Amino acid sequence: MRLSRYFLPVLKETPADAQIVSHRYMLRAGMIRQQAAGIYSWLPLGYKVLKRIEQIVHEEQQRAGHIPLLMPTLQPASLWQESGRFDAYGPEMLRIRDRHDRDMLYGPTNEEMITDIFRGHVASYRDLPLTLYHIQWKFRDEIRPRFGVMRGREFYMKDGYNFDLTKEDALHAYNRHLVTYLRTYERMGLQAIPMRADSGPIGGDDTHEFLVLAETGESEVFYDAAVTDIRLGARDIDYDDKAQCQAVMEEFTELYARTDETHDAEEFDRIPEERRRSARGIEVGQIFYFGTKYSEAMGATVATPEGERVPVHMGSHGIGVSRLVGAIIEASHDDKGIIWPEGVTPFHVGIVNLKQGDAEADKACEDLYAAMEAAGLEPLYDDRSERAGAKFATMDLIGLPWRITVGPRGLKNGVVELTSRRSGESEELAPEAAIARLI
Ligand code: ATP
Ligand code: MG
Ligand code: MG
Ligand code: MG
């Protein structure tokens, strides 16, 4: 992409009403625009990051055999009347009446709808296990939408649902989701710690939230510092292997890590004092096992091998896709702007031409641009006639992991400058060598 032809409405002023750094940088970097309280347009740069995060979520879900589909944003109230949640959900649910006076709602989550799909099409244990998921916009009429996309009213969520014959199978699905989530967040350059949590309006006993530690987080958390040393890394996972998934789950959840709702001061005090931590965290996902709560209420049953009809065991599993954009920035920035982890960056590398209009500099940039595209990289070429300082400031703000700076002086010696956004270190290299470093 050439910046002269892109739409990157960078703001010079720091927006006064943005209280946390991710919100400020998302506005300043032209990633989002607020359209109403908690409702945003995703401008091209923000949209690109959102799509990269979404893609990672898809890949990791499908790696575990989970099947994507797409349910609508609008739902009939009747499904929620069956489960009893139409009244129970409260004012966070946006209720709508259509022209025929039918009660509708903008879905805050999809347990009822997926259970309806299941009962309409699945009748036998032979079709289990089954996990279906979608990534779709949700609406919750939050009492205090704030912090930009972190607590929106309209937000983008991955929500997945498992259907199993037995509790044991459903707990395997729970563990499997836990592992997929660990891998998903690690690919985004994030550490998200599974913490024992409260199940809220979804219901059920087994639930973990995934928390990214950050001072601006809205959740209060308590944990053993040793949990922050565990990584999933590149280990091979067989998602059908119950014992392996369970072992990973235990490894990541045996140390004390809880949100304030489930915090137990006595147990916490048993952790050696130097490892006791209380901090703030951002909830970027949650997994639930809730048994037959919805399948019983809505008649989602299957025939067992013995021919008996039993309600299926279910769980639901959510990732805050749009919240993650903010959470990643909270976890990775400096005073100049965002620092994107490679896994989610909107462009791989920025090219800064120090002397636009200089035939040699222009040609060197064009050659780099073409070579990068040929190598499968996505560059953002700042080809505007701006001062070098302004170009650097924009690149620092939008946070691409690498910058290549091209100017007549370096070109005389056959070199360009390659700079890491994270370390700030620069190196002079021949253009071909710079590209080789990025592949
Ligand atoms: P919170 O405690 O922050 O209100 P929640 O527990 O109500 O979140 P879940 O029902 O667990 O949310 O939904 C799954 C995920 O969706 C959450 O872990 C979070 O990352 C994301 N999410 C929930 N509400 C919002 C929101 N208002 N804006 C952006 N993301 C959200
Ligand atoms: Mg909530
Ligand atoms: Mg919560
Ligand atoms: Mg939650």
Decide: residue 357, CB within 10 A, 0-12 exposed, 13-18 middle, 19+ buried: exposed
pTM: 0.97
Q: Which pLDDT tens digit goes with each residue over 158-196?
A: 999 999 999 999 999 999 999 999 999 999 999 999 999
Closest residue by CA, ligand 1 atom 14: 318
Distance of CA 430 to the CA centre of its chain: 37
Decide: residue 297, CB within 10 A, 0-12 exposed, 13-18 middle, 19+ buried: middle
- Residue 283 CA to ligand 3 center (angstroms) comes to 7
pLDDT at 13: 87
> What H or E segment, with its residue span, contains residue 389?
helix 388-398
- Residue 175 CA to ligand 4 center (angstroms) comes to 17
Atom of ligand 1 nearest to the CA of 159: 14
Average pLDDT over all residues of the chain: 96
Confidence of residue 145 (pLDDT cuts 50, 70, 90): very high
Separation CA 255–CA 249 (nearest Å):
11
pLDDT at 16: 85
Q: Give the pocket of ligand 1 (CB within 6 Å).
A: 109, 140, 142, 151-152, 155, 157, 200, 283-286, 318, 320, 322-323
Atom of ligand 1 nearest to the CA of 150: 29
Amino acid at 198: D
Mean pLDDT of the 388-416 span: 97
Atom of ligand 1 nearest to the CA of 151: 28
Residue 22 pLDDT exceeds 70: yes
